Structure formats: C-alpha cells, structure tokens
Amino acid sequence: MITLNTKDKTNKSKMRVGRGIGSGKGKTSGRGVKGQKSRSGVAIKAFEGGQMPLYRRLPKRGFNPISRVNIAILNLDKIQSFIDKKSIKISEILNSDLLKKLKLINKNSIKLKILGSGNIKDKINIEADLASKSAIEKLEKISGSIQLKK
C-alpha cells in the first residue's frame, strides 16, 4: 500500500546553489556561462528576439467561446414594424427560415428568440426556439400563437 507522505519525499532539503564546487551547483549555479539568461533581473518569457511574438501575431479572441450558439433576437415591436412595412405577411407562420430568406436576421444564426419589448397589434403565428414570458403573454393577449421548438 502506498501512502501520500513517504519519508524520503518529506525530508528532502532544497538545493542551495552557489555553495562551492562540490555541491554540484557551484560557481555559475546551473546558469551556464555568460549570456542574457545567466545574468540577474532578466524576464524573457515570450520574447522572440525582436520577431513579432506569437501571442501578438494571432487574432484577439477575448471571452467569446468557440462553440457559441448564435441566437437571433427579435422584439415584438420589431416584428410589428416589419408587418407595417409589409415585409412580413400575417397569414404565414413566422419562423427563422422565413426571416433568413427575407434577410431580417443573420443567416449564421442557429436559434431564434422572441423578446417582449414593445407592443404587437396584429394576430400572428410564430415558431421560435426560445421566447420570454412577457412575449408569450402579449401574443396570447391578442390571440396570436407561439410554438416553441424542443
């Protein structure tokens, strides 16, 4: 059986560099001879000899995760303005495919979310992936319907 704290590990003292030739880390203290790395007060880390460092050559990514799902957001007042402009017909079902075809949302968006900002006057049938509580309430009030995809 192996225990975490074995005696040979706990009793090992740290190497004292620069304490005589016989110690194995004497004279140059394991730093070699001359050169920038042998001197004190040197912090090279990502320095590449004047060449543009790798971390500066690559594009910035920040906090945007690679596997992010693009969700198109659409407010009720925006839908109403599209109806008023006659770009959306009340008779057809409003879904992401139709909105992409009409170029009202980004073609790269994977999901569609309906938010309840503003008011909607016309009765419309919507098919979306997500919807806020206020959007559902406002659509039900004007006897419109919203179907949420699972």
- Rounded (10°) angle between helices 76-84 and 133-141: 40
Residues 84-113 have pLDDT tens digits of 999 898 898 999 999 999 999 999 999 999
Given this model, what pLDDT does residue 132 score? Answer: 95
Given this model, what pLDDT does residue 7 score? Answer: 65
More confident residue, 68 or 73: 73
Contact 40, 18 (CB under 8 A): no
Residue 22, phi-psi category: left (phi > 0), alpha (psi -120 to 50), beta (remainder): alpha
pLDDT value at 57 more than 90: yes
Share of the chain above pLDDT 90, in %: 65
pLDDT value at 69 more than 80: yes
Residues 11-32 have pLDDT tens digits of 778 899 999 999 999 999 999 9
In angstroms, the CA 145 to CA 82 distance is: 18
Strand partners, 5: none
Contact 113, 76 (CB under 8 A): no
Q: Averaged over 61-89, what is the pLDDT?
A: 91
Average pLDDT, the chain: 89
Given this model, what pLDDT does residue 37 score? Answer: 87
In angstroms, the CA 122 to CA 80 distance is: 7
In angstroms, the CA 122 to CA 84 distance is: 10
Given this model, what pLDDT does residue 115 score? Answer: 96
Given this model, what pLDDT does residue 150 score? Answer: 77
φ, ψ of residue 37 in degrees (nearest 5) = -70, -20
